[in-house]
Amino acid sequence: MGEVIRITAPLTDDTVSKLKSDDSVLITGVMYTGRDAAHKRMVDALNRGEELPFDIRGQIIYYVGPSPAKPGKPIGSAGPTTSYRMDAYAPALIKLGLKGMIGKGWRAKDVIDACIKYRAVYFGATGGAGALIARSIKKSDIIAYDDLGPEAVRRIEVVDFPAIVINDAYGNDLYVKGVEVYKQI
């Protein structure tokens, strides 16, 4: 864990190539949210030859199903959800230009391989820290799949969203590296 790096979303190839596993980052800019049911719909749409609800090139998808916003707030609690459930869909989206994913928990080999091949990164955010993370989300608008409720796709504007690089574009994995340092059995 070194100094905190400030980055801007959407991500450029240049930014992605500079990020290394174990880097702490603060993300500012625009991102999109999507989780289980939204991912299924997006990939089903692609398979039918239809367009995605937003231009995915360069974007970060945050795996989150926020709680409802209290009056006057842009969003409710908004911590990351477990990412492996999106593993079946992520490689297809990375191939189309998705540059970042934020969630929690390990990813399948296919996803890690796609990150290397197409230059993308997987960030971890602190699970359960939904009230804290929500403070960095300044604006939130549902742009697709409204009927999915908490799983709808949102366009969010963030300032200094805290995350850690887990899988970089070079095949490094903090979940493997970090545990190796501290394991005693």
Partner 1 sequence: MREIKAKQITETVGNLCTKANFDIPEDVMKVLRDAHNREVSPQGKDVLKQIIENDEIAHNEEVPMCQDTGLAVFFVELGQEVHITGGLITEAINEGVRKGYKDGYLRKSTCNPFTRKNVGDNTPAIIHYEIVPGDKIKITMAAKGGGSENMSRVMMMKPSDGLEGIKKYIVERVKESGSNPCPPVIVGVGIGGTFERSAIIAKKSLLRPLDVPNPDPELDKLENELLTSINKLGIGPMGLGGRVTALAVHIIVEPCHIASLPLAVNIQCHSARHKEIII
Using the rule CB under 8 A, is 138 a contact of partner 1? no
CA dihedral 177, 129, 84, 137 (to 10 degrees): -110
Binding status of residue 5 toward partner 1 by CB under 8 A: no
CA angle 66, 68, 72 (to 5 degrees): 115
Is 132 a binding residue for partner 1 by CB under 8 A? The answer is yes
The verdict on 74 binding partner 1 (CB under 8 A) reads no
With binding defined as CB under 8 A, does residue 109 bind partner 1?
no
Written as one letter, the residue type at 163 is A
Report the 10 Å Cβ neighbour count for 172.
Answer: 16
The 12-41 site mask, x for binding partner 1 (CB under 8 A), equals ----------x-x-----------xx--x-
Q: Which stretch binds partner 1 (CB under 8 A): 6-14, 52-60, 112-120, 121-129?
A: 121-129
Q: How far is the CB of 122 from partner 1 (least distance, A)?
A: 12
Interface with partner 1, residue 172, by CB under 8 A: no
Residue 71: partners with Cβ closer than 8 Å, 6 or more residues away: none
Is the CB of 62 or the CB of 118 nearer to partner 1?
A: 62
Contact between 150 and partner 1 per CB under 8 A: yes
Q: Quote the CA–CA distance of 107 and 105 in Å, as a whole number.
A: 7
The DSSP code sequence of 88-155 is TTHHHHHHTT--EEEEBS---HHHHHHHHHHT-EEEE--TT-HHHHHTTEEEEEEEE-GGGGGGSEEE
Q: Which residues lie near partner 1 (CB under 8 A)?
A: 1, 22, 24, 36-37, 40, 64-70, 76-79, 81-82, 84, 104-106, 124, 126-135, 148-151, 162, 164, 174-175, 177-185
